[in-house]
Amino acid sequence: MAKQLGHYDIPDSFEYDLEIQERYQSFSSEILRLSLLGIAATGFLIANVFLAEGFDVDKIDVFVKFGVLISLLAFGISSLSALIHRYCVVDMLSWQMQALRREIRANELSEELKKQEKDKAKKEAITRFGRWKTSKVALVIAASTLALASLMLAITFGRVVWIINI
């Protein structure tokens, strides 16, 4: 009877994978933080300019309304994509650990069981690669929509300042 996968030590080289994973997560954490900050900034703009006492709501043109809407949607998409990225990176790492342990355990098994174990490890590697591709796309979407949202918020805020002649 083979030991459970958790009883197998992973080689020291796995530490490098953990370092890279942490850097990826730090980057997506920063994108998430900035996206949430952007949502708050948009709320501040709405609450303190559009809903301020004495502000003529009729001065708000369609460009400003769509600018606020687009920036909110883009900040939301950026936040969601950053969270998806973080999930996929952690899940990818767990699949990698499991595949490595299966390969190590396969060395202790009979030839028939070794082949089954290596086949499972290959399937897990495919799943890991799928998570990696998803995390890559999510990170690009998160960064791109953060840039779009920030630009739209800045342009919209500039337009509001122009309208109210500050």
Q: In this structure, is residue 97 part of a structural domain?
A: yes
Which amino acid is present at 97?
Answer: M
Calculate what percentage of the chain has a pLDDT beyond 90: 36
Give the tens place of pLDDT for each residue, 26-70: 899 999 999 999 999 999 888 887 777 776 777 778 888 899 999
Q: Decide: 92 and 131 in contact? Cβ < 8 Å.
A: yes
Q: In this structure, is residue 7 part of a structural domain?
A: no
Q: In this structure, is residue 3 part of a structural domain?
A: no
Task: Report the domain count for the chain.
Answer: 1
Q: In this structure, is residue 102 part of a structural domain?
A: yes
Q: In this structure, is residue 8 part of a structural domain?
A: no
User: For position 114, what pLDDT does the model report?
Assistant: 76
Residue 37 belongs to domain spanning: 13-164
Q: Decide: 146 and 73 in contact? Cβ < 8 Å.
A: no
